[in-house]
Amino acid sequence: MINIAVLGYGTIGSGVVEVIDRNNSSIDGKTGDNIRVKHVLDLRDFPGDRVESILVHDFDIILNDPEVKIVVEVMGGVEPAYTFVKKCLLAGKSVCTSNKELVAAHGPELIKIAKDKSINFLFEASVGGAIPIIRPLCSSLTADRILEIKGILNGTTNYILTQMDVEGWDFDRALSKAQELGYAERNPEADIEGYDACRKIAILSSLAFGKSVNYEDIYTEGISKITATDIKYAGKMDCKIKLLASSENIDGKYYAMVAPFLVKSSHPLSGVSGVFNAIFVKGSEIDDVMFYGSGAGKLPTACAVVADVVDAARHLNENIQTIWSEEGLELTGSENATRRFFVRVFGKRSECENRIKEEFGAVDFIEIPEDTDGFGFVTPALAEKSFDAHLANIPNVSGRIRFE
């Protein structure tokens, strides 16, 4: 019997208990032992719930229980998660978490403690929900040099953009539904402002490149400024708007960014809809591999957490090596990245057309019936810093979106 404890009985925590109950015999068969949830920690009581009799409010009961070998941390946030997780690891208990805030902020330190103690700190569910991406980066892809990671790493924002596009919902309705479905963070600003995707690309980049990428160094834009009209313009240009997170190693310089992009309908990422995520990894020898699946949600994410529990149970006194050095990786700014931009302007096209051509040369103008107050144009490919300099000379700009 291997006793585990679950910290946090919210969306994912209740999913973890449900998956272990529902798939009990298959999980035990794959573990080679019997996995039992001995304690669940939460702030609330759950009268009549399956966990009522094993619910505790005092973390020390779990910390001081020598029978608990594996702890699942699914409370979210940095504190008290960091303090609890560190204490568990120092007490010789393996930890499995879905908490990307914790992993992005303290991953290398917690990995090192686990290594020193010959136990495990596993975090497959912290990126991409149900999608296996951490394990492939740490094992299947270790023979190659990773050059680029690019993808849709946030289920809530992809769900919002899809519902706005396909169903014509407004932003607030789509966000409320994403919250109701259990996709969104407790503070959904983390989703819609891109911070969640930023932490995830920092985690993937750190694993891919072997040194710590500080998420605070990553240029990050969210989708809160994307409007229904932008989505109509995207349709007119045969594109979808997607929040993309990316990192690249170009000749030993490292770049990372999170921002909404216009993605042509012929691009594989344009077809990634709803809560689904997709991640491309480009290696110098393997070329592209793509990972795809549910990026958020109770049971898909819980399955990834429980798979980590199975792995930790199979390696109770043996560390599964994760290469993520505490040494920092310096990122280079993206001001020289060259791409096309879509720009929206308030006012009549005839009044600013010449000015726009003077600044940007041969642009493509776009007009749609839904935008009665303005028009759009697409620039030729140019560097970000040059684009910004020219854009500053155009009056009444109401928005801009990069082209993938």
Active-site residue list: 200
Q: What are phi and psi of 105, to 5 degrees?
A: -85, -35
Question: Do residues 303 and 223 make contact, with C-beta atoms less than 8 angstroms apart?
Answer: no
Rule CB under 6 A: is residue 337 a binding residue for ligand NDP? no
Rule CB under 6 A: is residue 303 a binding residue for ligand NDP? no
Rule CB under 6 A: is residue 253 a binding residue for ligand NDP? no
Rule CB under 6 A: is residue 121 a binding residue for ligand NDP? no
Rule CB under 6 A: is residue 276 a binding residue for ligand NDP? no
Distance CA 81, CA 38 (A): 19
Strands 146-152 and 276-283: antiparallel
Q: Which is nearer to ligand NDP, 8 or 108 (CB)?
A: 8
Cβ burial 288-306 (10 Å sphere, 16+ → b, else e) = eeebbbbbbbbbbbbbbbb
State how far the alpha carbon of 378 is from the alpha carbons of 8, 117, 286, 351, in Å: 48, 56, 34, 17
The stretch among 5-13, 141-149, 226-234, 333-341 that binds ligand NDP (CB under 6 A) is: 5-13
The stretch among 16-24, 154-162, 349-357, 366-374 that binds ligand HSE (CB under 6 A) is: 154-162
- Cross-strand partners of 240: 263
Q: Which is nearer to ligand NDP, 89 or 343 (CB)?
A: 89
Among 3, 154, 162, 247, binds ligand HSE (CB under 6 A): 154
Residue 371, token pair as written in the block: 């935008």
Binding at 12: pick from ligand HSE, ligand NDP, none (beta carbon under 5-8 Å per type): ligand NDP
Q: Which is nearer to ligand NDP, 302 or 337 (CB)?
A: 302
Among 17, 37, 38, 98, binds ligand NDP (CB under 6 A): 98
Which of 396, 402, 143 is closest to 259 using CA atoms? 402
The number of C-alpha atoms within 13 Å of 5 and in the hemisphere containing its C-beta is 29
Cis-peptide into 80, omega within 30 deg: yes
Among 62, 152, 278, 296, binds ligand HSE (CB under 6 A): 296
The stretch among 32-40, 151-159, 229-237, 309-317 that binds ligand HSE (CB under 6 A) is: 151-159
| DSSP states along 198-224 | HHHHHHHHHHHHSEEPPGGGSEE--ST
Question: Do residues 154 and 200 make contact, with C-beta atoms less than 8 angstroms apart?
Answer: yes
The stretch among 30-38, 46-54, 178-186, 232-240 that binds ligand NDP (CB under 6 A) is: 178-186
DSSP 235: H
Question: What is the distance between the terminal CA atoms of the chain, rounded to a whole angstrom?
Answer: 51
Among 2, 6, 37, 75, binds ligand NDP (CB under 6 A): 75
Rule CB under 6 A: is residue 4 a binding residue for ligand NDP? no
Rule CB under 6 A: is residue 41 a binding residue for ligand NDP? yes
Among 3, 158, 277, 301, binds ligand NDP (CB under 6 A): 301
Among 25, 26, 43, 53, binds ligand NDP (CB under 6 A): 43
Identify the residue whose tokens are 């042509």: 264
Binding at 41: pick from ligand NDP, ligand HSE, none (beta carbon under 5-8 Å per type): ligand NDP
**Closest CB 364 distance from ligand NDP, rounded Å:** 39
- Residues forming the site for ligand NDP (CB under 6 A): 8-13, 41-44, 74-76, 80, 98-100, 125, 129, 182-183, 185-186, 296-297, 301
